[in-house]
Structure 1
């Protein structure tokens, strides 16, 4: 499930439900849950929850209780007086996480419990609920991919059963929500990337023995200029270290998205060392798997400030390695140089079909 609110016009009620889920809005007075084009995490619009100072707006859709390998993600932004809630229940217990007026992130069991995490106003963040356990009545809370609370205790209540709800419950204020995803993590989309350069030792080598090529393999060693893929697993550290292994570990470490539009990561590479000669080509390898629906992937690179995406491949259930070769630098249509290689970033663009 993915809802990015890329539908409707500014000010339309989200109850018009032009996306992937059917929304219900509960809002008295002049409070509202509406499409807003002034703010957006990605794309051109998002959902705005406006509170008129008296009436709390709720926006909700039906969802059976999350199971252990289902995680919910939502990007959010708040002003300095709003109190934004994410609510979900099974009829006996409920997840109740909220971004308080003081910008602290709390959850409610029998009282408000501060996670210790804070946010800045008018800034987009990614909130995630993972590892939901209705038997133990616990769940984990993540902010921007990092855990801020493990084993958060559920609230005992019949409220919010079989729904996911967002509410703004303080002041005359605004909150914004965008790119809501529910992903089954037992069936991730994953990419493992290496880049290979082929470098004959001399021009004479090319002329006399064109098959006698040396291969330099470079793997990600740092973050590049773009980290847009929504999620990584495990959530600790950086995206690049989920795709740097010599032997692919498939579902052990990966990056993943449930977005219906492309999200891209770029990764830094180490410089070459003693290699020299003419570079005949570079090749980027990606390894992907997708267990619940066909996904799409493209190898990506950045050189001379120009980002290039390769050909789209369909991602199937089985882990599969694909590659694409560039004989010339796509940023200038010239032969590759070692300066190009030392400044090169590689990556992957992913989306769910």
Structure 2
């Protein structure tokens, strides 16, 4: 009948009378001619003593508890960890109205068997408040890890509102759960409908630029992020390489600024956009700029003359030398997908996106936001 058959069909397949089938399932009360019969119970195949406690184990535990044996002694006799025995007694004991408790082996076994079947409703599906909080922040393109730490800061004394980021990923990707809206996977950084392993990064061939200062010449204070004011930059290229958006990320605070390049991203236009971007910043917050060997930085020498900011270039095919900028570009692709026309985005739209990213908490900043870190530096 668990396979979907009715009582009549199941009894016919087994070869018994339908009335006998009902008695097997429901039991038989005491009568004048027939003795009473208890309902049939499912026989569970043992999965091995190494993983689950059996009914005989629980009887042994109850007997030894009555004899006053210690938990470590019981664990040694059963070949189990003491924590396994301790959790078993605490989890499956019978509580009395007076507040005391005692261990009943058969009741404990039934309780454990009823709790074991899978799948179960997850923590997110059981708590509507938690589910709504996660869905609202996923819609704002927060990462699951950012959401988890925001929950702990917002609800420090409510453990039912705390989850780890893997719980959110499973609620999105594991089929059959239905705890979070499936379309929210598009709000994740990758936007993938299925999880997959990281692919190998592709290699780029560097372009020769005259009079380059290599990253090995950059001062040590920029490498260890101890002193603010060292920036990393790059371009996000649009459809058919006809439009672009420039990105600038400060290494210490991870603060982001976007350059508006709607029509062209030549060396001259990129230089002018960079000059306009850094002109409004205090001099102690603009000490250097690190870029890859793209042709858009061919006018780096004139940029340095206009702003007194040196430009350092990464080695070919070494994106990790601008790790903060590469990470931020990946976040920006949620707003500006690959293959889209970037010229349709206005200056106001770029400012809105930058403000949204600067207000996200970052793990590397101790879950502070880039805007908070930069405002602290400006106030100092």
TM class, shorter-length = under 0.3
Higher RCO, 1 vs 2 (CA within 8 Å, ≥6 residues apart): 1
Instruction: Please state which structure has a larger fraction of its residues in strand.
Output: 1
Instruction: Please state which structure has a larger fraction of its residues in helix.
Output: 2
Q: TM-score, normalised by structure 2?
A: 0.23
Q: TM-score, normalised by structure 1?
A: 0.24
Larger Rg: 2
